[in-house]
Structure 1
Amino acid sequence: MKFPAGSLPECDRLNFRLPSLDDAAFYLKLMKDPDYIRFIADNGITSEEEARAYIQDKPLARFAQFNVGLWVVEVKETGQPAGVCGLVVRDELEYPDLGYAFLEEFRGQGIAREAAQAVLEHSCQKLKIETLCAITAPDNRRSSDLLKKIGFKGQGQRLLNEIGETSDYFVCELGST
């Protein structure tokens, strides 16, 4: 599964861009956040050097393979990276997976919702995707509530070998958002 390259999601307050190795400090901060570790993964990243290796091996590799991945989301006004949001293609899931993670200081401001909605619109209009899925940790209420607000419907749980845990599973038909 490879998608058209070149275009990026767009919205009012945020810019989307490809990650770069220069984002190592941002990725280190994001991936050391206790909620990131609790709800997404503990990748064991403890240095900028390890963060650069992660960026090369995961986000950049996914963009190279599929032309989609988790874009870095910046606040337009300041240019400061707030988080990541985009699509993850997983062998175990039948649809591209909407994923996102934001730094603590940007939570509760509607930024995750705005970014996720922009990715949905981009997926439908530019990438011509008809259906997306999303996974969350079962105890991540904020994330599951956000998914429901933007049109996802719960479809039970899935055990994913890639992450080694059972996740709540959601699906969104893009023509209905």
Structure 2
Amino acid sequence: MQILSTERLSLREFTPLDAPFLLRLVNEPGWIRNINDPGVRTAEEALTWAEGRLFKAYRELGHGFWAVQRRDDGVLVGMCGLFKRAALPEPDLGYALLAEHEGRGYALEAARGCVAHAREVLRWKTLMAITAVDNPPSIALLGKLGFEEQAQQVLEGYSGPSRVFRLAL
């Protein structure tokens, strides 16, 4: 299901057919370094991971992490979306791209679309975001969106501390 469009991108719900793409994405060195290693090594494991991490949120919350694809050719470049983690008091913005698509402004464009969706469609008042402690590109992106750093804390599912950000919508 289509969620939103930006100038160059379209964000939609992932489907089971996206399992091979998700397998690639969650095994990117940047994902493993800055997010975590979910231990997903096969397309079947990627589908199981997507069911628990993505599809369940769509059904239960009506939002989640969405597939980011270029509008001109439909190529999947990453994921971006809104997710409610038990460890945070408010929903948060998350994003990740395949390394081959970084540096083109896709993450910022998709994130701006998600922030607008949170404010205008979902009518949320606050949005959070987390990054690895040493992730300058994500920290800079969150700054461009107006997020302010709140603290560093160890969140469930992460081995070390995360930087926690908040944005009033």
TM tier, shorter chain? over 0.9
Q: Deviations over 1:122-172 (max 9, x none)?
A: 110010011100000001110011000111011121221233431001000
Match of residue 35 from structure 1: 30
Q: 2-side partners of 1:100 and 1:23: how far apart? A: 16
Aligned partners of 2:77 and 2:97 also within 8 Å: yes
Q: Return 5+ residue gaps in structure 2 as ranges.
A: none
Match of residue 65 from structure 1: 60
Aligned partners of 1:70 and 1:99 also within 8 Å: yes
- Report how far residue 10 of structure 1 moved: 2.3
Match of residue 170 from structure 1: 165
Q: Identity rate of aligned residues, in percent?
A: 37
Q: TM-score when scaled to structure 2?
A: 0.96
2:124 is aligned with 1:129: yes
2:73 is aligned with 1:78: yes
Q: 1-side partners of 2:54 and 2:160: how far apart? A: 21
Within 5 Å, give how 1:149-164 maps onto structure 2. Answer: 149-164=144-159
Superposition RMSD on alpha carbons, in Å? 1.2
Secondary structure of 2:153 counterpart: strand
2:88 is aligned with 1:93: yes
Q: Deviations over 1:45-80 (max 9, x none)?
A: 111111111111110011111111000010011101
2:33 is aligned with 1:46: no
Which residue of 133, 138, 161 maps to 1:138? 133
Secondary structure of 2:162 counterpart: strand
Q: 1-side partners of 2:164 and 2:115: how far apart? A: 17
Aligned partners of 1:70 and 1:87 also within 8 Å: yes
Query: Which ranges of 4 or more aligned residues in structure 1 deviate by more than 4 Å?
Result: none
Q: 1-side partners of 2:159 and 2:122: how far apart? A: 29
Aligned partners of 2:2 and 2:10 also within 8 Å: no
Letter of the 1:24 partner, please give it: A
Letter of the 2:50 partner, please give it: I
Match of residue 21 from structure 1: 16
Q: Which stretch of structure 1 is more off in the superposition, 13-22 or 158-167? A: 158-167
Q: Return 5+ residue gaps in structure 1 as ranges.
A: 1-5
- Report how far residue 105 of structure 1 moved: 1.2
Secondary structure of 1:136 counterpart: strand
